[in-house]
Amino acid sequence: LSGLVKRFPVRDALGRRAGAVHAVDGVSLAVAKGEVLAIVGESGCGKSTLGRLMLRLIEPDAGSVRFDGEDLGALSPAALRARRRDMQLIFQDPFASLDPRMTVEQAVAEPLRLHRIVPREQEAARVAELLSRVGLRPELARRWPHEFSGGQRQRVAIARALASNPRLIVGDEPVSALDVSVQAQVVNLLSDLIRDLGLTFVLISHDLGVVRHVADRVAVMYLGRIVEQGPAREVLSAPRHPYTRALLAAVPGHGVKAPPLEGDVPSPIAPPPGCRFHTRCPFAEARCRDSVPELGGGDHRVACHLADSLPAPEPLPPRLAG
């Protein structure tokens, strides 16, 4: 992803243009083959929009997306449709991706037909195989989505996403709508599948517990921009951006102590100038209000004027860090 920008027009009660939501504002990011990249941040930070831009489900206002060296924006509609089999999205709410009028078998078979993955006569066998891959008994194929629990429905949605043999999967909060008790099962299933099938996975999540479990790399977003990115181990255990520290400090038992986040996320219609985090940052200085900090170079990057001079985050006492 290179220099991606996406704004959504906002209209007033009379339908007149009244500004724009700055959803994604200059994001550049690379995902390596076979890697699990997590994009984290509070709701409204632009991470879902970024996921949709990545799959070219929406058009950017500026910037480009390359998949395997190919500029997705330069493809004809037909070529982009053909490319779709390589890139799949798993939604938060499996109801959003499953048609209630289709049996599980029909839902999973649809992409097989659309992308001509197997001949008709092999379809039922392939559906059975996909269902067992996601831990569902093939006999369930004739049932309807409403007959399943939330966790089972998400398994069906995963089977459907896998049907076209994709190489890249973007999961937008894939377990957030599920009961906490089944979240871990579905996360484990996803991480096993990703490893076994050699998939590239972009996990969009606000849940750092889930992220810690599966991510190789993490990118942290705030108000449309990436403020920190790097190897998951480093970003999650030695966060450098004040925002990342505050997010981690809010996770019980994480072992990072930092000043808590104060106030609300400012409106993305009029984001603060300079560092977008300055209205909530305990370390903000005068320059933070008018100069935009660049995401530095290297493997672990931070967009903060004070990145090199901030005190190391204080570890919690061992009793609390448990």
Q: Which parts of this chain interact with Mg ion (CB under 5 A)?
A: 48
Nearer to Mg ion, 48 or 152 (CB): 48
Give yes or no for residue 288 binding ligand SF4 (CB under 6 A).
yes
CB-nearer residue toward ligand SF4: 51 or 242: 242
Residue with Cβ nearer Mg ion (152 or 205): 205
Is the CB of residue 294 less than 8 Å from the CB of residue 303? yes
- Block residue for tokens 């798993």: 90
**Positions 15 through 34 that interact with ligand SF4 (CB under 6 A):** none
Side by side, the strands of the sheet bearing 200-205 are 87-90, 168-172, 200-205, 36-40, 217-222, 225-231, 301-302
Pairing of strands 225-231, 301-302: antiparallel
**Residue 265 engages ligand SF4 in binding (rule: CB under 6 A):** no
Give the nearest distance from C-beta 264 to ligand SF4 in angstroms: 16
- Number of shown-chain residues binding ligand SF4 (CB under 6 A): 12
Pick 273 or 317: Cβ nearer ligand SF4: 273
| Positions in 203-262 near ligand SF4 (CB under 6 A) | 242
Among 10, 96, 8, 17, smallest CA distance to 59 is for 8
Q: Determine the length of the chain.
A: 322
User: What is the smallest separation between the CB atom of 252 and ligand SF4, expressed in angstroms?
Assistant: 24
The residue number with the shortest CB distance to Mg ion is: 48
- CB of 308: closest distance to ligand SF4 in angstroms? 11
Only one of the segments 96-104, 147-155, 169-177, 298-306 lies at the binding site for ligand SF4 (rule: CB under 6 A); that segment is 298-306
**C-beta of residue 141 within 8 angstroms of C-beta of residue 177:** no
Which of the stretches 42-50, 134-142, 168-176, 273-281 binds ligand SF4 when contact is defined by CB under 6 A?
A: 273-281
Should residue 277 be labelled a site residue for ligand SF4 when binding is judged by CB under 6 A?
A: yes
- What sections of the chain are H helices per DSSP? 47-54, 77-83, 94-97, 104-114, 123-133, 150-162, 180-197, 208-214, 232-237, 242-249, 318-321
Cβ neighbours, 10 Å, residue 18: 12
CB 255 within 8 A of CB 245: no
Residues that bind ligand SF4 (CB under 6 A): 242, 275, 277-278, 281, 283-284, 288, 293, 304-306
